[in-house]
A = this chain, B = another copy of it.
Amino acid sequence: MIQQLVDFGAYSVPGFALIALAFAGFKAVQTAKQDPGTEEMQTIARRIQEGAMAFLKTEYTWLAGFVLIVAVLLGVANSFGGPESDQTPLIAVSFVLGAVASGLAGFIGMRIATLANVRTTFAARKGMTAALAVSFSGGSVMGFTVVGLALLGLGLLYIGYVEGASFLFPSASESVNPLSFALNALTGFSMGASSIALFARVGGGIYTKAADVGADLVGKVESGLPEDDPRNPAVIADNVGDNVGDVAGMGADLFESYVGAIIGTMVLGLGLYLNMDENASIGPIVLPLLIAGAGVITSILGTLAVRTHEDGNPQHALDMGAFGAAGLTALATFGLAWAVWPEEGIKTTIGSATATVQWWGVGVATVIGLAVGVAVGLITAYYCSMGKKPVNSIAMQSKTGHATNIIAGLGVGMESTAAPMLLIAGGVLASYQVAGLYGIAIAALGMLSTTGIQLAVDAFGPIADNAGGIAEMSHQAPEIRERTDRLDAVGNTTAAIGKGFAIASAAMTALALFAAFSQQARLGDSGIDILEPKVMAGVFVGGMLPFLFSSLAMKAVGDAAMEMIEEVRRQFREIEGLLAGTAEPDTARCVDISTRAAIKRMMVPGLLAVLTPVVIGVTFGPQALGGLLAGVTVSGVAMAIFMSNAGGAWDNAKKSFEGGGFKMPDGTVLEKGSEAHDAAVVGDTVGDPFKDTAGPSLNILVKLISVVALVIAPIIAVGGNFTPLWSLLFN
């Protein structure tokens, strides 16, 4: 063990954060100074950017109110901890900062993504290499802004709380370690990030599909305009939706997972620290911060390694960067764990026995986490990829009509839950076996340590997608469209892998937070026994939530789409000369209306997610809340995989008929416009709210409920001065 690294470690984190931010800034400048193209291209791009910013403005206005209310509640609720409690109202400060950091990252990332799209279109004139460079640079800004702001906030708060401990936590006595206060206060940061993620993913998910439906139904079907026609008032909103959902939404999602995994691991590290008898080392608390720091460096190296030549496959370039960074981080984790872990190992309980966790166990857990994340991503890609068996089976079943297409898609989605769930279960078992509960959290962090490049790859997709749209709208030459199409196809694959990865990381993060919750709620001795009916009842309620939440999200899409449709119809009716092309549509109003509709309609599912754990925890106590977490995690992860993959598979089953057509086993070729293609279009439409609204929102549901539980854990802790309402009722 290198004591100085342990002591100094955490203080280096803001430095790594600034490196990440500097790299993001460098990439932002690099992107911005690219040629933005012709006047026509710039006009279109400006509208998309204005729309995206309008969405963020409305979202953040609502968010500000939400964050303030919750911050006050958090501050007040944590002001009455007894002497044995580690409650502190500072948790409200962390909460606000977490929300601000995630919100700022979303703002910057989306701003740059909406600059990068048009520049990618223009760069495609020069060739593939240039187009990839611009779009991936744009994505990198999102990736490294998320990582940088997350680490900056976490690092500064941790240092501030620990350094100012005697001043900030005056009630810290011998019975409660100041580090307990500090880490408990820090959990608010994770909850703040979760709140943004809730708005970005659920609100953004509703927005993007409402705009999509509005643009398609009134513009294309009713008015006969072609796709992406500038006369369609909703077409800008539709393009905005891609950014809102896939850039800002995914960014906030991974921001939440990243922060959740780091904090979850730190809290479990605190548990190890408090249990050490002599020579107690804060190594386990500092290690996650150091791994995250190393991840910044390896992600930058990976990003720099992404380059392709004109005939090369951009996919390989991206893979090399991402896998390279992951491999380097795994190596670094072994080194860091060796450096900060006590030589004699740390004693903990594994199963019913006492075991000693060694530094290499921590390294192995990282590798397990990485392997599970990559494997789940690849499985997702398999189930959603054109030409593979699952998608082909849906395309084949489209021949006998709409119903068989739908049944096949639902079947594929359900089947696709099996391998990922088994892998996650295996990952949990294996990482626990090598490093206890801490190992599970480290596995989650292993998945997320290279969030910088991972998110860069994810955000590259919608930029390439937008670039293609701008090329189409501004009537570029065919070879340019062809290049952006190739990039877009790569983006679809990375998006599929990214979605699987996001679900797997959400699952592991939720489990890490769950373990941290159980420690903070002092459930270590009593455990959470499923045989206790209140726990089982909690599992039932938790298992039901993802179903209710999904139905609310899908219904919200339908209702918001209706408002959008009304507005588009109104503009066609009231703005003279719109269809003739002599008048401009009021695209901003469309954006505004669907923004408001989306934000309004995410309130009920949002409140459900925030309030359920509080109500269950306060009424029935921490064990029942533990049951709720288990139920919501398992059923939420299964439903998320089911819905995301069914949606992705339907999408590509439809695409199978486009281009050269789909070849049936008997040799006949079914093309676009065939009845089978019609059926596949219906499947794709059903899949849209599945894969872009309900599915990704479940990631947030699962993590948010876990982090709320962690935050309220000290309040409802067993042995504290809190009496569950339940016991008042019955005893």
Question: Nearest chain B CB to A426's CB is how many angstroms away?
Answer: 7
A415 contact set on B, CB distance < 8 A: 547-548, 551-552, 555
A-B pairs with lowest CB-CB distance, top 4: A527-B529, A403-B685, A543-B634, A421-B544
Alpha-carbon separation in the docked complex, A418 to B627 (Å): 17
Kindly specify which of A158-166, A232-240, A427-435 makes contact with the partner chain: A427-435
Alpha-carbon separation in the docked complex, A731 to B524 (Å): 23
Residue A417 lies at the interface, judged by CB distance under 8 Å to chain B: yes
Given A515-B531, A554-B410, answer yes or no on A417-B682 (Cβ-Cβ < 8 Å). Answer: no
| Chain A 513-538: CB-based contact to B (< 8 A → 1; otherwise 0) | 00100100001101111111111111
Contact B417 A544, beta carbon cutoff 8 Å: yes
Residue A676 lies at the interface, judged by CB distance under 8 Å to chain B: no
**Can you name the residue of chain B whose Cβ is closest to the Cβ of A424?**
B540
Question: Nearest chain B CB to A578's CB is how many angstroms away?
Answer: 23
8 residue pairs from A and B, CB less than 8 Å apart: A351-B534, A403-B685, A415-B551, A511-B536, A539-B539, A540-B634, A543-B634, A631-B634
A631 contact set on B, CB distance < 8 A: 634
Question: Nearest chain B CB to A676's CB is how many angstroms away?
Answer: 14
**Can you name the residue of chain B whose Cβ is closest to the Cβ of A687?**
B403
Given A397-B558, A425-B541, answer yes or no on A547-B682 (Cβ-Cβ < 8 Å). Answer: no
**Can you name the residue of chain B whose Cβ is closest to the Cβ of A539?**
B634
Residue A411 lies at the interface, judged by CB distance under 8 Å to chain B: yes
- Copies of this polypeptide in the complex: 2
Residues from 386 to 419 in A contacting B, C-beta threshold 8 Å:
397, 400-404, 406-408, 410-415, 417-418
CB < 8 Å neighbour of A401 from B531, B627, B642, B682: B682
Contact A530 B531, beta carbon cutoff 8 Å: no
Alpha-carbon separation in the docked complex, A529 to B530 (Å): 6
Given A406-B686, A415-B548, answer yes or no on A429-B555 (Cβ-Cβ < 8 Å). Answer: no
Question: Nearest chain B CB to A718's CB is how many angstroms away?
Answer: 10
Residue A468 lies at the interface, judged by CB distance under 8 Å to chain B: no
Question: Nearest chain B CB to A172's CB is how many angstroms away?
Answer: 27
Alpha-carbon separation in the docked complex, A425 to B534 (Å): 8
Alpha-carbon separation in the docked complex, A555 to B626 (Å): 36
Question: Nearest chain B CB to A627's CB is how many angstroms away?
Answer: 7
CB < 8 Å neighbour of A411 from B526, B532, B551: B551
Known: A406-B682, A410-B686. 16 other contacts (CB 8 A): A352-B526, A404-B558, A411-B555, A415-B555, A421-B540, A425-B538, A425-B540, A429-B534, A440-B533, A515-B531, A523-B531, A527-B527, A527-B531, A528-B529, A634-B635, A635-B635
Alpha-carbon separation in the docked complex, A534 to B425 (Å): 8
Alpha-carbon separation in the docked complex, A543 to B539 (Å): 11
Residue A730 lies at the interface, judged by CB distance under 8 Å to chain B: yes
Given A406-B406, A540-B425, A551-B411, answer yes or no on A529-B529 (Cβ-Cβ < 8 Å). Answer: yes
Interface positions of A (Cβ within 8 A of B): 217, 351-353, 397, 400-404, 406-408, 410-415, 417-418, 421-422, 424-426, 428-429, 432-433, 437, 440, 511, 515, 518, 523-524, 526-544, 547-548, 550-552, 554-555, 557-558, 626-627, 630-631, 634-635, 637-638, 642, 682, 685-686, 689, 730-731
A528 contact set on B, CB distance < 8 A: 529-531
A414 contact set on B, CB distance < 8 A: 547-548, 550-551, 554
A731 contact set on B, CB distance < 8 A: 353
A627 contact set on B, CB distance < 8 A: 530
Alpha-carbon separation in the docked complex, A631 to B542 (Å): 11
Contact B407 A558, beta carbon cutoff 8 Å: yes
A689 contact set on B, CB distance < 8 A: 407
Question: Nearest chain B CB to A700's CB is how many angstroms away?
Answer: 17
Question: Nearest chain B CB to A563's CB is how many angstroms away?
Answer: 14
A543 contact set on B, CB distance < 8 A: 421, 543, 634-635, 637-638
Question: Nearest chain B CB to A663's CB is how many angstroms away?
Answer: 19
A541 contact set on B, CB distance < 8 A: 421-422, 425
Contact A533 B429, beta carbon cutoff 8 Å: yes
Alpha-carbon separation in the docked complex, A517 to B421 (Å): 25
Alpha-carbon separation in the docked complex, A60 to B433 (Å): 46
Contact A630 B539, beta carbon cutoff 8 Å: yes
Alpha-carbon separation in the docked complex, A557 to B530 (Å): 36
Contact B417 A547, beta carbon cutoff 8 Å: yes
A403 contact set on B, CB distance < 8 A: 682, 685-686
Given A539-B634, A550-B414, A554-B411, answer yes or no on A530-B404 (Cβ-Cβ < 8 Å). Answer: no
Alpha-carbon separation in the docked complex, A217 to B404 (Å): 12
A548 contact set on B, CB distance < 8 A: 414-415, 417-418
Which of A403, A408, A523, A554 is the most central at the interface, judged by chain B CB atoms within 10 Å of its CB? A403
Alpha-carbon separation in the docked complex, A392 to B60 (Å): 36
Question: Nearest chain B CB to A548's CB is how many angstroms away?
Answer: 5
Alpha-carbon separation in the docked complex, A532 to B526 (Å): 12
Alpha-carbon separation in the docked complex, A651 to B136 (Å): 49
A425 contact set on B, CB distance < 8 A: 536-538, 540-541
A526 contact set on B, CB distance < 8 A: 352
A400 contact set on B, CB distance < 8 A: 217
Alpha-carbon separation in the docked complex, A550 to B642 (Å): 12
A634 contact set on B, CB distance < 8 A: 539-540, 542-543, 631, 634-635
Question: Nearest chain B CB to A481's CB is how many angstroms away?
Answer: 28
Alpha-carbon separation in the docked complex, A451 to B535 (Å): 30
**Can you name the residue of chain B whose Cβ is closest to the Cβ of A541?**
B425
Which of A217, A408, A528, A626 is the most central at the interface, judged by chain B CB atoms within 10 Å of its CB? A528
Contact A418 B547, beta carbon cutoff 8 Å: yes
Question: Nearest chain B CB to A686's CB is how many angstroms away?
Answer: 5
Contact A544 B638, beta carbon cutoff 8 Å: yes
Alpha-carbon separation in the docked complex, A620 to B711 (Å): 33
A557 contact set on B, CB distance < 8 A: 407
Question: Nearest chain B CB to A440's CB is how many angstroms away?
Answer: 7
